[in-house]
Amino acid sequence: MGQATSVGNSIDPRPILIVTGLVQEARIAAGPGMTVICSSSDPQQLRALLTVFDPSTIRGVISFGVAGGLDPSLRSGDVVVATEVLAGDTRWLAGLSLNEELIASVALGRRRVVRGGLAGVEEVVVARDGKAALRSETGAAAVDMESHIAAAYAAEAGLPFAALRVISDPASRALPELARSAVKPNGDIDLRKVLRGLARNPMSLRALVSTGIDFNRALRSLRGCRSFLLGGEGFVAADL
C-alpha cells in the first residue's frame, strides 16, 4: 500500500496517510510513500491535526498501531485487520484486502492475524469490566482512540480507509493508570512520572512490568506488520 497505485493508465504518486497514536508507532510506519500523523493519544489533537491536513495530497488513510484487546481469545502481539470501525451509532467499513502469503508470514510463531471490528473511543478503556462491556455492546475485536477519527476523516474526504492494529493489553488485563497517564504530549513516555508513581505505590510495579512486556511484544509484532503498508494488495478496487 505504500507503493504508488495505478489509476487507469497512470500512477498515483501521492503517499498514504498513516494515523498513529504513539511516537513509537509513528517511527515504525515512517518511510517512503508514507505521511505519518501522531496524535499522542489525544483524540482532540488528532482532529486538530486533520483539520488542517489537505486530503488532496494523499491517496488513502490507514490507522496503524497498538490497541486494547476486547476479544478474550486474543493475546498481546496478535494482529487485527479491521473489517469495520464502530463508534457510538456510527460504523465505517474498512477496505483493505491482504495477500494470504503476507498473513502467513506475520502469523509465524505465536502471533495470530484475525479480521474483525475495531471500537473507537475518546478515552483509554482501562478496566477489564470496561473492555467486556464494550465487547458485548459492539462485538469488536479491539479498541483504540484513533481509528474512528481516521475513518471519519477518510469518509468525509472520499478516500479509501483501512486499519491494522496489534493487541497490546489483552482483554484479561487491566491497564495500570500510571501507564496511561505517563504519556507525554509528544507521545513519548515520561520516565520521571513513572518513577514518581512507583515511589508512591511500589505495589503497582508488577502490573506496570507486565504491561511493558505486553507493549514491547506488540511493538515487535507491529514492526513485522509494516510489510502490509509496503506490499499488501492494497485497498479494494471499488474504493479507488
Model-level pTM?
Answer: 0.82
Give the pLDDT of residue 227: 76
Q: Which domains does the chain have, with CATH numbers?
A: 5-239 (3.40.50.1580)
CA angle 172, 121, 217 (to 5 degrees): 45
Q: Which residues pair with 62 in a beta bridge?
A: 18, 162
Using 70 as the pLDDT threshold, list the residues of the chain that sit under it: 1-10, 96-110, 175-191, 193-208, 230-240
The string over 150-163, giving b where at least 16 C-beta atoms fall within 10 Å of a residue's C-beta and e elsewhere, is bbbbbeebebbbbb
Per-residue pLDDT, 233: 40
| Digit-coded pLDDT (tens) for 151-203 | 999 999 999 999 999 999 999 988 666 566 665 555 456 667 666 666 666 66
Q: Is there a contact between 61 and 16 (Cβ–Cβ < 8 Å)?
A: yes
